[in-house]
Structure 1
Amino acid sequence: MGELSSLQREAIRQALALPLDVLRITTPLVLQNYDVYRDMIGDESMPLLANPIQVWDQVTFSYIYVPPHVEYDLDIATFKLIAECDWEPEHGLEVRFCNGVADDVDQIGETGR
Structure 2
Amino acid sequence: MILRITAPLVLQNYDVYRDMIGDESMPLLANPIQVWDEVTFSYIYVPPHVEYDRHIPTFELLAECSWDPEHGLEVRFRNGVADDADQIGETGR
The alignment's TM-score, normalised by the length of structure 1, stands at: 0.76
Structure 1 residue ranges without an equivalent (≥5): 1-20
SS class of match (1:68): coil
The residue number in structure 2 matching 1:93 is 73
SS class of match (2:25): coil
Take 1:31 and 1:57, find their aligned partners in 2: how far apart are those partners? 11
SS class of match (1:64): strand
Look at both structures and tell me which one has the larger radius of gyration over its CA atoms.
Answer: 1
Shift in Å at residue 49 of structure 1?
A: 1.4
Name the Cα RMSD after superposition: 1.0
Higher helix share: 1
Higher strand share: 2
Cα deviation per residue 1:28-75 (whole Å; 9 max; x = unaligned)?
1000000001101124121211322211110011111001111x2x11
Q: Percent identity?
A: 86
1:30 aligns with 2:21: no
The residue number in structure 1 matching 2:87 is 107
* Number of matched pairs: 91
The alignment's TM-score, normalised by the length of structure 2, stands at: 0.92
